[in-house]
Amino acid sequence: MTARPLAVVGASAAGLAAAEALRRLGWRGPLTLIGDEPHLPYDRPPLSKQLLHGTWEPERLLLRGKDQLDALALDLRLGTRATGLDAATRTLTLDNGETLACAGVIIATGVAARTLPGAEGLTGVHTLRTLDDALALRARLTGTGHRLVIVGNGVLGCEAAAVARELGHDVTLVGVEPIPMAAAVGTEIGELLAEEHRAHGVTLHTAAVAGFDASGGAVTGVRLANEGPPGNGGVAAGGAGTGGSTRLPADTVLLAIGSTPAVGWLGDDPVLDTSDGLRCDAYCGAAPGIYAAGDVARWEHPVHGRPVRFEHRMNASEQGMAAARNMLAELAAADAAGSAFADAFEGAPPERRPFAPVPYFWSDQYAVKLQAYGLTTGADRVETTVLDRAGCRAVALYGRDGHAVGVLAAGLPPRQVRGLRAVIAAPVPWEEARERVRAATAAG
């Protein structure tokens, strides 16, 4: 009896890490990796940095060489979209009409860039999520002196603004939040970044977008809803031709207003909870034999005690590995029921382990490197120590319910940054964390 395949849906960092871990842990049976993009698995963080800048070409982004991929003996389905999953039978449907009955499924379909009404089909309006998106934006920004309006002042918008300034374009950054990246890093670090962007010539606006102006199907400007009701908490986009009094001229617009977990293809199977990503237990399990990893997974973090979802590069790999391990452990334990699992499995079955990483993200803007451990969003308390304002060197501590849960370093030497990770590996009483951060940043 031939083993059913294990399938990984999503061929980016999380999906690749899962596939590699399945092989490393002993799965010798059929392994299918399904990706909706036509490209071999590639890395996304450089899209808004080196790729957009033109210092790297697409080949540089490939996560693994061809020989490394060949060694995985994958049934690799690129340019193929999964369109449905029957959770009870673990059967996938693909967009070519094929159905695939699987022994287990890891869902790593990531997120899709959000867009705005009125943007569809307008030449010059871009999003930045995929390699093709990044190449299109890069081609658009050929030469110098383009007028680029970036809508959204989160991490992606800020990184793209820095690159576009370095390339010599006229850059305006528009966000509904008054301070860039404030939701991710708090107001004081956000203000430091705002100063950095202003010093490099970026124009900052706080506003929602009311619509786009166009001529002959190409964007010519962005209209701001600066007379709309304050504090509406979102981007008040109308169609072209409505509202707004301030108009920012633009030949190119980047929409960097966040993303939506790619769960639509899972339908409304009541077995799967797809509100804000695919809900998983502490083992990254969404249902029997079905696991999730990466940007799409919202799992019960055993240390932080609440469901979290991270769109961070590091989490993608770590969670891909964890989901693979825990799925194999579950399938091995269920093997007594008489599947062909054992025939296709070599070595000792892994043990299930709760997935309890120390979250990590970084961002590069101009010469500033931000690195953060733990949870920096959703803090009810932030304490920022600016060590050197001109050099953009700072450390910030993020708290929730009396405990420190996150820490961020801007421009600190690597040894100090690694020391900060140890401070925040688990929630620490606030005062204790303050002392430890002081100690970790005192030397050097």
Partner 1 sequence: MKITLDADKCCAAGQCVLVAPEVFDQRDEDGIVVLLDAEPPADQHEAVREAAAICPAAVIEVHE
Under the rule (CB under 8 A), what is the footprint of partner 1? 13, 17, 20-21, 24, 43, 45-46, 60, 62-65, 68, 313-314, 317-318, 321, 360, 362, 364, 369, 371, 413-415, 417-418, 421
Name the minimum Å distance from CB 421 to partner 1.
7
Nearer to partner 1, 192 or 420 (CB): 420
26 backbone φψ class: left, alpha, beta (φ>0; ψ -120 to 50): left
Phi and psi for 434 in degrees, rounded to 5? Answer: -55, -45
CB 169 to partner 1: min, Å: 24
List the beta bridge partners of residue 204. Answer: 173
Minimum CB separation of residue 1 from partner 1 in Å reads 31
Query: What phi and psi, each to the nearest 5 degrees, are found at residue 73?
Result: 50, 55
Closest by CA to 41, choosing from 126, 160, 107, 131, is 131
Considering the complex, state which of residue 150 and residue 417 has its C-beta at the smaller distance from partner 1: 417
- Give dist(CA 191, CA 305) in Å, integer: 31
What's the Cα-to-Cα distance from 385 to each of 85, 196, 288, 397, 437, rounded to whole Å? 49, 17, 47, 9, 10
Nearer to partner 1, 162 or 224 (CB): 162
Q: Which is nearer to partner 1, 270 or 444 (CB)?
A: 444
Please return the burial class of 388, using the count of CB atoms within 10 Å of its CB with bins 0-12, 13-18 and 19+: exposed
Tell me the closest approach of the beta carbon of residue 265 to partner 1, in angstroms.
27
Measure the CA–CA gap between 175 and 45, rounded to whole angstroms: 21
Q: In the bound complex, what is the minimum distance in angstroms from residue 330's beta carbon to partner 1?
A: 21
The CB-of-75 to partner 1 minimum distance in angstroms stands at 21
Of 13 and 167, CB closest to partner 1: 13
Closer residue to partner 1 in complex, CB, 199/367: 367
* Alpha carbons 222 and 211: distance in angstroms, whole number: 6
Q: In angstroms, rounded to a whole number, what is the distance separating the alpha carbons of residues 134 and 75?
A: 27
